[in-house]
Amino acid sequence: MNLILFGPPAAGKGTQAKRLVESRGMIQLSTGDILRAAIASGSDLGCKVEGIMARGDLVTDEIVIGLIAERLPEVEKTGGAIFDGFPRTVAQARALDDMLRSRGGQIDLVIRLKVDDEALKARVAGRFAESGRADDNPKAFEQRLVAYNRDTAPLLPYYEAQNKLVNVDGMAAMDAVTEAIEGALGKFGR
């Protein structure tokens, strides 16, 4: 099955994705992780996206769609993936649907971790210093929230119209969030 973990920055998508990797043997596809690895390796792609990411802006649809396209054969072999931080725009969502459909697959479920902006800001405020991420500072975080609300939140009606959206309270304790996600996945039996 293919699952999207959806939500604003710092909602806990990465943490929950890693738990699903452990409990269900699914693979996690995080465009943020792939891009940070490109920066760390000093590749052309890394140089291209470094400034954009540090500001908290979105990199182009073309780049991230290409990164995901490269990984789809691997996704098929493992029987599906957890998409974490992708798609982030309607164009990315359409491209993902098209790519999966052309390979006989689909997105089965979109789990939205619901956390409001003020709670997110409070959650990250104390953690900037220790994060080690160039975009974990008040200014870039604010911009990441702007990008989420402007470009990514419009995906909610997109997936709602496909009857794929499940809302989970992302403000609950981490274990309770995991339990709610496992409950939503239950019917897929993996």
Compare residues 86 and 159 and give the one whose CB is closer to ligand AMP.
Answer: 86
Give the whole-angstrom CA distance, residue 51 versus residue 112: 28
Q: How far is the CB of 60 from ligand AMP (least distance, A)?
A: 7
SS (H, E, C) 96-112: HHHHHHHCCCCCCEEEE
Compare residues 24 and 133 and give the one whose CB is closer to ligand AMP.
Answer: 133
Q: How far is the CB of 109 from ligand AMP (least distance, A)?
A: 18
Q: Are 34 and 81 in contact (CB under 8 A)?
A: no
Give the whole-angstrom CA distance, residue 114 versus residue 117: 10
Whether the CA torsion 108, 113, 117, 122 is positive or negative: it is: negative
Asked about 71 being catalytic, the answer comes back as no
Q: How far is the CB of 189 from ligand AMP (least distance, A)?
A: 28
Residue nearest to ligand AMP (CB): 32
The residues that touch ligand AMP, with contacts defined as CB under 6 A, are 9, 31-32, 35, 52-53, 56-59, 64, 85-88, 92, 135, 144
The residue from 101, 127, 150, 190 that is catalytic is 127
Short-list 28, 10, 21, 7, CA closest to 165: 7
| 3-state secondary structure (DSSP) of residue 55 | helix
The residue from 13, 19, 36, 112 that is catalytic is 13
* Buried/exposed 65-95: b ≥16 CB within 10 Å, e otherwise: bebbeeebeebeeeebbbbbbbbbbeebbeb
Compare residues 122 and 183 and give the one whose CB is closer to ligand AMP.
Answer: 122
Asked about 13 being catalytic, the answer comes back as yes
Compare residues 170 and 189 and give the one whose CB is closer to ligand AMP.
Answer: 170
Q: How far is the CB of 64 from ligand AMP (least distance, A)?
A: 4
Catalytic residues: 13, 88, 127, 133, 144
